[in-house]
Structure 1
Amino acid sequence: MKEIWLLTEGDNWSEVKEQVKDAIEIGFTGVVVKDEFAEKAAKLGRIAVVGKSDGEGLIGKGKAYFLDITSAEAQQEAIELSEHADYLFLSFSDWRIIPLENLIAMRKRAKIIAEVSSVDDARVVLTTLEKGADGIAVKGNREELLGYFKAVMEDSGRLNLKPAKIVEIKPLGVGERVCIDTVTLMSVGEGMLVGNKAGFMFLVASESEESEYVASRPFRVNAGSVNAYIKVGDKTKYLAELKTGDEVEIVRYDGAARKSYVGRVKIERRPLMLVRAVANGEEGSVILQNAETIKLITSEGKHKSVAELKAGDEVLVWVGQKARHFGVGVEEFIIER
């Protein structure tokens, strides 16, 4: 998920304090303050704080650097620092896309946070080289900060979803399935990516549609069996691992992704069914509750009940990196079936 940081302005703690409070209330990832204000800022709420001094800063026990990329030499310095830094906060006095592309491609372990001065710049930064920077750093009043936050939420990740053709639907009997109730309301066409393979996941719909059987629950995704993976940013988790407060990823039929959090998880014993599909020669499956209110999403953003699914129907899936180790992508030989 993309990050958004506030660069506080001013030498007066009373002014800086109000800026930090705004960032906390809006939902920013963190704030950058003068080193002398770091301890006070950390007491205002649960938000990451970088205490900056002379182009360097500390974030907890980690290290952050602040660089203005004005030359090839500055770019190389950033690449070298990225090997042992946790964060690189980068400004571009002479704004160009190429240096940012180079840094995104060649950086080591550090997260890249680019300073921007407009929402349009923010959107460019977040999508450069398709992957984009890890986040943005901004200044401004509360209204401007809200605009930046909205841009980050809208562009926090756009996934390449593909239509997949259903090849098998098979009742499996009774097992445990997981319902995820989020702190966010979802719309028709939104859901979560779930599957039995880390590299092939189905877009399972939120319960945002009215039904003759039950009232809509737009905060809920009846996600699948306990063994399944769920995609959360660049990582995966097992559905059975989720708990209150965990981060989850809400995905729309056009690939737009946004962050939310688990409010409650319900694991209950229910009849299950296997759904298997193929996309671009890749095959994947998901095990869902066998009920008419459980739905997958089509390319048009419509919900299709698993009770109506038949071979040849098309639903949306995400096909990505296959190998995972503790939810993190790795390069290794692995076969999942």
Structure 2
Amino acid sequence: MTRTIWVKADASVGDWEARKRRVTTAIEAGADWVLVDESDVGRVRELGDIAVAAFRSEADVVDGDDEAAEADAYFVGKDGEGDGTIDLPNDLSGSADLTTVRRRDDRAQGVYVRVLGKEYEAFAEAAAADADYTIVVGEDWSIIPLENLIARVGDDTHLIAGVTTAAEARTAFETLEIGSDGVLIDSDSPDEIRGAVDARDVADRETLDLRYAEVTAVERTGMADRVCIDTGSLMDDDEGMLVGSLSRGLFFVHAETAESPYVESRPFRVNAGAVHAYVRNPEGGTNYLAELSSGDEVQVVDTAGHTREAIVGRVKIEKRPMFRIQAEVETDDGVDRVETLIQNAETVKVATSAGRTAVTDLESGDEVLVYYEDVARHFGEAVEESIIEK
């Protein structure tokens, strides 16, 4: 599931300057969408690159401006059935679908509903069956209507919960252990908007089950083309990347955060290994190190298995002396061998049961941290087939 953050910036927020501040904050914070009145779409486009959803306003209907900038999605419900301006139909069983509500704007892909009572929850459920996007806003924020809608329409629509704080956004993403697909935050606070974006990122990230493997060989292998991955993010002392020669077993290699008498720390860098090796990406697949280039995404992981994404800023490939590190992993079927090539340098460190260890100090019998996944891969994607790697 790809979670989304929407920032509310329609006329209810205030004048254009107030709306502009919200839109600017949304762009700078990394939100996915802003929700505005259609008359503001063109002005939002001038502020930056963000997806724009729009309510059709009465002014737009009167003016009939065919040259107005187009939104990426249109919503009905505001000043209509969705917010109580127009009474709900008596029979919600067949007359509340989006096609009926859309009569005021036949371009609409989304519906906006304030949950003013149980009947509005039923209305949102009926309309969601035909809507790509369904926004539900509780008057006194409560997880109960959201729980009901997640259970009933979660697979039919992109369900977006209205919130006013980052804490509410986190709760929305955790509800029923599934969470809403997105949140619409209605707040003037840049901190709350940024906090909602952080909540999205945390909800989207996986936690990996890392384990220790026993080192069985550390051998000098001569020269190879070594890859350093320089990211656009700073990494912490316990963070690094998962790399390896065999797709089923990837070694945890620390970022160069530690000070050294030989070189300055480079907390944006992972000295990852030889060009043939795999590195794990945020989608759960792998890329060859040789394939990476500026703008690609790689997965950063800490020693507890928590993950996040980072953008590659630069890849450095140079000939360097290498070690071959071999280790054995205990599996349900016995013991499996994994290995990788990594530069022979004291600045390159792996995670072991004894802590951060330079590869030049690594010995047989040490326990190194790995991610083991008993699957084959084809073009970086897990497949169910027999592939022999050795």
TM-score (norm 2): 0.69
* Whole-angstrom CA distance in 2 between matches of 1:139 and 1:112: 16
Distance 1:30 1:191, change over 3 A: farther
DSSP-derived class of the 1:161 partner: coil
Q: Is there any run of 5+ residues in structure 1 with no aligned partner, and where?
A: 58-62
DSSP-derived class of the 1:187 partner: coil
Between stretches 304-313 and 182-191, larger displacement belongs to 304-313
* Whole-angstrom CA distance in 2 between matches of 1:200 and 1:74: 46
DSSP-derived class of the 2:308 partner: strand
* Whole-angstrom CA distance in 1 between matches of 2:326 and 2:175: 34
**What is the RMSD of the two structures over their aligned residues, measured on CA atoms?**
3.6
In the alignment, which residue of structure 2 is the partner of 1:60?
none
DSSP-derived class of the 1:307 partner: helix
In the alignment, which residue of structure 2 is the partner of 1:172?
221
Residue correspondence of structure 1 range 76-91 to structure 2 within 5 A: 88=133, 91=136
Q: Does 1:138 align with 2:188?
A: no
Q: Does 1:54 align with 2:76?
A: yes
In the alignment, which residue of structure 2 is the partner of 1:26?
29
* Whole-angstrom CA distance in 1 between matches of 2:111 and 2:276: 43
DSSP-derived class of the 2:321 partner: strand
Query: Which one has a bigger Cα radius of gyration?
Result: 2
Q: Which amino acid aligns with 1:147?
A: G
Native 8 Å contact 2:225 2:318 kept in 1: yes
**Which whole-Å deviations, capped at 9, do the CAs of 1:243-300 have from their partners, x for residues lacking one?**
2222222212122222321221111111222223344415433321121111112468
- Pick one of 312, 317, 327 that aligns with 1:267: 317
Structure possessing the higher relative contact order (Cα contacts under 8 Å, 6 or more residues apart): 1
* Whole-angstrom CA distance in 2 between matches of 1:161 and 1:217: 27
| Higher helix content, 1 or 2 | 2
DSSP-derived class of the 1:203 partner: strand
Q: Which amino acid aligns with 2:327?
A: A
Number of positions where the alignment pairs a residue of Structure 1 with one of Structure 2: 323
How high is the sequence identity, in percent, across the aligned residues? 35
In the alignment, which residue of structure 2 is the partner of 1:207?
256
Native 8 Å contact 2:212 2:353 kept in 1: no
Native 8 Å contact 1:155 1:257 kept in 2: no
Native 8 Å contact 1:75 1:99 kept in 2: no
**Which whole-Å deviations, capped at 9, do the CAs of 1:8-45 have from their partners, x for residues lacking one?**
23325443322111111222233333344334323322
| Higher strand content, 1 or 2 | 1
In the alignment, which residue of structure 1 is the partner of 2:47?
44
Q: Does 1:308 align with 2:361?
A: yes
* Whole-angstrom CA distance in 2 between matches of 1:325 and 1:112: 34
DSSP-derived class of the 1:315 partner: strand
**Which whole-Å deviations, capped at 9, do the CAs of 1:137-158 have from their partners, x for residues lacking one?**
4232212112223444455424
Q: Does 1:294 align with 2:348?
A: yes
* Whole-angstrom CA distance in 2 between matches of 1:76 and 1:327: 41
Task: Note the C-alpha offset of 1:210.
Answer: 0.7
Residue correspondence of structure 1 range 215-226 to structure 2 within 5 A: 215-226=264-275
Distance 1:10 1:38, change over 3 A: closer
Native 8 Å contact 1:89 1:115 kept in 2: no
Q: Which amino acid aligns with 2:233?
A: T
Native 8 Å contact 1:294 1:306 kept in 2: yes
* Whole-angstrom CA distance in 2 between matches of 1:66 and 1:10: 15
Q: Does 1:255 align with 2:305?
A: yes
Between stretches 132-141 and 20-29, larger displacement belongs to 132-141
* Whole-angstrom CA distance in 2 between matches of 1:53 and 1:304: 55
In the alignment, which residue of structure 2 is the partner of 1:10?
10
Q: Which amino acid aligns with 1:289?
A: Q
Distance 1:122 1:8, change over 3 A: closer
In the alignment, which residue of structure 2 is the partner of 1:160?
208
Between stretches 302-311 and 262-271, larger displacement belongs to 302-311
Distance 1:216 1:173, change over 3 A: same
* Whole-angstrom CA distance in 2 between matches of 1:257 and 1:155: 11
Native 8 Å contact 2:353 2:366 kept in 1: no
